[in-house]
Structure 1
Amino acid sequence: MEIEILGPVEIRMNGVSIVPSAGKPRQVLALLAIRAGQIVPVTTLMEEVWGDDLPRSAVTTLQTYILQLRRKIVSTLPAEQGASAKDVLSTRFGGYSIGVRPDVCDLREFEQLSAQGTTALDAGDARSASSLLGRALSLWRGNALMDVPMGRVLEMETLGIQEARMRVLEQRIKADLQLGRHAELLAELRVLTTQHPLHETFAGNLMLAFYRSGAVWRALEVFQQLRRTLDDELGIVPSPRLQQLHQAVLVGDPALDAPEYTADAPLPLVAA
C-alpha cells in the first residue's frame, strides 16, 4: 500500500488507486489511511462524515461505505494469493482499521526527515539540517488532503500536520540564514510575509536578510508594515523580541551579523 496525503490524496494497492470519487467514502478512506495501523472507532468515523447531524441510517450507511472501499481493494489483490479485502480493511473492536503498514507514506517520511533535520540543527550542523528539512518540505504537493471533504476529525488531523509544516519551514530558513544564504532567501521570505502578514518570525527573518544584504531601509520598512498590520488586525504591537531586533537594525548592532543569530534567537544576542 502507498499512502500520500501531503496534497491531493493518493492511496494505492499494488499500484492501483483505491480512492473513491464520492466525497463521503473518500473521507472515510482518508481518515483510515491517516491512522493506518490504528483502530478508528465507528463513532469517530460517523462524527467525521456527519458531525452532529447523524441520520438514523448512519451505521448502515457507514457499513455501505466500508463495503464500497473493500470492493475497491479486492479488485487490486492478486487472485492467486487468496488475499481478502478484510485482511486489509478489517472490522476491529467497534471500529475499522487499515491493518497493513504502508510501503510508502509521505507523512511518515516527512516526520522522519523533519526529526533528523531538527536534530542536526540542534547539533549545530546547519548544512545537514537545511538539506534534510528541505527534502521534508519537498514532499508536499499542496495542502494536506486538499481534495477531500473534511469534517471535524480530519480538520483537526490536518491542522496539526500543517502546523508541523510551518515549523519545519521556519527551521529550514533558520538553517539557511546560518549558512549565509540571506540573499537567496529574500524572494521566499517576501512571499511568506505576504501570505502570513501576522507571522513575526517570517517578518523578523526578512528584516535580518535585508539587513545582511545591505538594505537597511527595507528591513525597517518590514518592521513598520508588521506594526501597522498587527495594530489594524489585532490592536497590538510587535513583541519585545521584534522591537529589540528593530532597535538593533537602527543602531547597526554587530550581533546581527553573527551566523547563529536568527529572528527566533534568544534576546541576549542583541544589544538593547
Structure 2
Amino acid sequence: MEFRTLGNLALLVDRRDITPTAPKQRQALALITLRAGQRVSMPMLIDEIWGGLAPRTAMTALQTYVGQIRRAMAEATGSTVKAVAAERLITDGNSYLLNVGEGEWDKPLFERLVQDSREAFARDDAAEAERLLRRGLSQWHGRPLANVRAGRLIAPHIQRLVELHLGARTLLVDAMLRMGRTQEAVEEARELVTEHPYHELVHAQLMRALYSSGRRAAALEVYQQLRNHMKDTLGISPSPTINTLHHVLLQDEPDEQFLALSGVAS
C-alpha cells in the first residue's frame, strides 16, 4: 500500500489508485494519514471536515466514510474489512489510528533523504547531498494535498510541507554553489524567486549565485528589485541579513570570509 501526500492525496495498491473520490472522505483520509501512527479522535475529524457547522449526523457520516475507506482497502488487497480494521485502520476508543509501514508513505521518505543530505553537507560532500536531495524532491508531484479541502487541522500540515519543500530546494542551490555549478544554481534560484517573491532567503541565494557567476551588477539588481517590491507592497525594508549581503557585494573587494560563510566564495 502506498500513501502519497506530496502532491494530490493518493492511496495506491499495486499502482491501482483507490483514493476516495468523495471530498469529505478524502479529507478524513488526509488527516488520518498526516497523523499516521497517532490517534485521531472523531471530534478532531468532525472539526476538520465540518468546522463549527457539523450536522447532528456528523458522527454517523464519519463512521460511514471510514467504513468506505476500509472497504476500498480490503477489496484492493484481497483482505476483509474486519482485517483492515484490526491491522491497518484501527478504531481505538473514539479515535482512529492508521498503521503505515516503512517506505509506504512519501513524506517520511522525503524527510529522511533531506536529513541525510544535511549530514552529507556536514561532511563537505556536496555531490552526495545533491544526489539525496534530487531523490527526495522526486517524491513531489505538485502542491501538497492539492485535491483536499484543507480545514483548520490540515492547513498547518500543508504549510509545513510547503516549507520543507522550499528548504530542500534552497539546500539544492547551496549544493550546486558548493560544487561551482553556478549557472544551474542561478536557474534554480530564479525559479524560487518567481515562486516566492517576498522570501528574502531565496533572493539572497540568487544574489550569491549571480555573484559567483561573475555577475555582480545583476546580483545588486536583485536586491534593488526586492527592496522596491517590499517597500511598495508591504511598506517595509529587507532584513539586516540581506542588507549586509548587499553592502558586502557593493564593495570593490568584498569580504571573502563573509562570502564563504554565505556559500559564495570558491
Name the TM-score, length of structure 1 as normaliser: 0.88
Cross-structure match for 1:104: 104
Q: Is the 8 A contact 2:8 2:141 kept in 1?
A: yes
Cross-structure match for 1:38: 38
Q: How far apart in 1 are the matches of 2:169 and 2:156? A: 20
1:124 aligns with 2:128: no
The residue identity in structure 2 corresponding to 1:86 is: A
Deviation digits for residues 43-73 of structure 1 (CA, Å, limit 9, x no counterpart): 1111110111111111111111112112212
Q: Is the 8 A contact 1:204 1:242 kept in 2?
A: yes
1:19 aligns with 2:19: yes
1:219 aligns with 2:198: no
Shift of 1:256: 4.7
Q: How far apart in 2 are the matches of 1:178 and 1:57? A: 58
Q: How far apart in 1 are the matches of 2:214 and 2:103? A: 49
Mapping 1:169-248, distance limit 5 Å: 169-248=169-248
Q: How far apart in 1 are the matches of 2:144 and 2:256? A: 36
Q: How far apart in 2 are the matches of 1:260 and 1:137? A: 26
Cross-structure match for 2:69: 69
Q: How far apart in 2 are the matches of 1:77 and 1:126? A: 42
Are the structure 2 counterparts of residues 260 and 137 from structure 1 closer, same or farther at C-alpha, using a change threshold of 3 Å? farther
SS in 2 for 1:253: coil
Shift of 1:258: 8.0
Q: Is the 8 A contact 2:189 2:205 kept in 1?
A: yes
Q: Is the 8 A contact 1:203 1:223 kept in 2?
A: yes
Shift of 1:259: 7.7
Cross-structure match for 2:83: 84
Shift of 1:137: 1.5
Shift of 1:4: 1.2
1:249 aligns with 2:246: no
Q: How far apart in 2 are the matches of 1:173 and 1:179? A: 10
Q: Is the 8 A contact 1:3 1:11 kept in 2?
A: yes
Shift of 1:125: 2.2
Q: How far apart in 2 are the matches of 1:74 and 1:209? A: 52
Cross-structure match for 2:133: 133
Deviation digits for residues 152-200 of structure 1 (CA, Å, limit 9, x no counterpart): 1111111111111112222221122111111222222222212211111
Shift of 1:102: 5.4
Q: CA RMSD in A?
A: 2.3
Cross-structure match for 1:153: 153
SS in 2 for 1:104: coil
Give 5+ residue unaligned stretches, structure 1. Answer: none
Deviation digits for residues 127-149 of structure 1 (CA, Å, limit 9, x no counterpart): 22222122211211101111112
Q: Is the 8 A contact 2:74 2:81 kept in 1?
A: no
Shift of 1:82: 9.6
Q: How far apart in 2 are the matches of 1:35 and 1:82? A: 21
Q: How far apart in 1 are the matches of 2:246 and 2:100? A: 53
Name the TM-score, length of structure 2 as normaliser: 0.90
SS in 2 for 1:97: strand
Are the structure 2 counterparts of residues 100 and 129 from structure 1 closer, same or farther at C-alpha, using a change threshold of 3 Å? closer
Shift of 1:211: 1.6
Q: How far apart in 1 are the matches of 2:219 and 2:100? A: 52
Deviation digits for residues 194-220 of structure 1 (CA, Å, limit 9, x no counterpart): 221111111112112222222222111
Structure 1 stretches of 4+ moved >4 Å: 256-259
Q: How far apart in 1 are the matches of 2:134 and 2:103? A: 22
